[in-house]
């Protein structure tokens, strides 16, 4: 009997996502520092797992031999794994929708690098624009600096090159919608080498770019 097909979730790698073969998964994790991945028995399980947190799907035990569903990265992430030579982005929204802003800061020093504010938006939009803002900035500077975000939604939107917001388009939001369109166009017409990494809030605490309003 043929082996049951497996699906692989890559939470942290070159291109996070769900892959239908080990070869495809390996392309995303080989040589990637602190890659996070795991195999599942069905696409449905894998897609559900990808929408959640890496730590929820890992049993914290000694690593097993290579090739099993557990792996050497299947351990609770520690702050020692953080690449401090990076930037962190985050957004805040007063209401949903409401006044929205996002910023990018130096991960180590928390020095603010950029900041934008809009009269009406959503937190997810801000998270998405924060990543694209950082990508465009580094592209101009010719840098492949890693970018941390605590939003898996935003990571997925960036990967798909589409901000899947339901924010109504009217006089109050027209400017923001135009910014979103430019961000989507940038993603569709540019390539980048910057790793977009998930900030593990459960293990590391709030992301350095957090606005501190919780």
Q: pLDDT tens string for the chain (214 positions)?
A: 344 688 899 888 888 889 999 889 888 888 787 788 888 888 888 887 887 766 666 544 334 444 444 443 445 667 778 899 999 999 999 888 999 999 999 999 999 999 999 999 999 999 999 999 999 999 999 999 999 999 999 999 999 999 999 999 999 999 999 999 999 999 999 999 999 999 988 889 999 999 986 5
Pair 19, 28: CB distance under 8 Å: yes
Can you name the residues that pair with 103 across neighbouring β-strands? 90, 115
- Tell me which DSSP letter residue 142 carries: T
DSSP E strands, 48-111: 87-95, 98-106
DSSP H helices, 30-173, are 43-50, 123-141, 152-160
End-to-end CA distance of the chain: 53
pTM of the full predicted structure? 0.67
Whole-angstrom CA distances from 95 to 92, 100, 119, 121, 214 are 9, 8, 11, 9, 12
Distance CA 157, CA 1 (A): 39
Determine the Cα–Cα distance for residues 92 and 161; give it in Å rounded to an integer. Answer: 22
């Amino acid at each position: 009997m043929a082996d049951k097909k497996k699906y692989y979730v890559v939470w942290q790698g070159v291109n996070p996502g769900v892959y239908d073969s080990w070869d495809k998964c390996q392309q995303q994790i080989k040589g990637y520092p602190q890659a996070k991945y795991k195999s599942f028995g069905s696409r449905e399980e894998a897609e559900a797992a990808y929408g959640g947190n890496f730590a929820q799907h890992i049993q914290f035990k000694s690593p097993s031999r290579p090739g099993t569903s557990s792996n050497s990265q299947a351990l609770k992430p520690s702050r020692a794994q953080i690449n401090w030579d990076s930037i962190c982005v985050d957004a805040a929204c007063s209401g949903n929708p409401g006044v929205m802003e996002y910023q990018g800061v130096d991960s180590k020093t928390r020095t603010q690098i950029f900041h934008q504010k809009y009269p009406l938006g959503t937190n997810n939009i801000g998270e998405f624009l924060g990543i694209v803002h950082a990508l465009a900035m580094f592209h101009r500077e010719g840098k492949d600096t890693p970018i941390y975000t605590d939003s898996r939604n935003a990571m997925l939107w960036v990967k798909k090159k589409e901000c899947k917001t339901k924010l109504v388009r009217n006089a109050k939001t027209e400017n923001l919608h135009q910014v979103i369109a430019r961000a989507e166009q940038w993603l569709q017409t540019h390539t980048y080498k910057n790793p977009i990494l998930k900030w593990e809030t459960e293990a590391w605490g709030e992301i350095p770019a957090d606005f501190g309003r919780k």
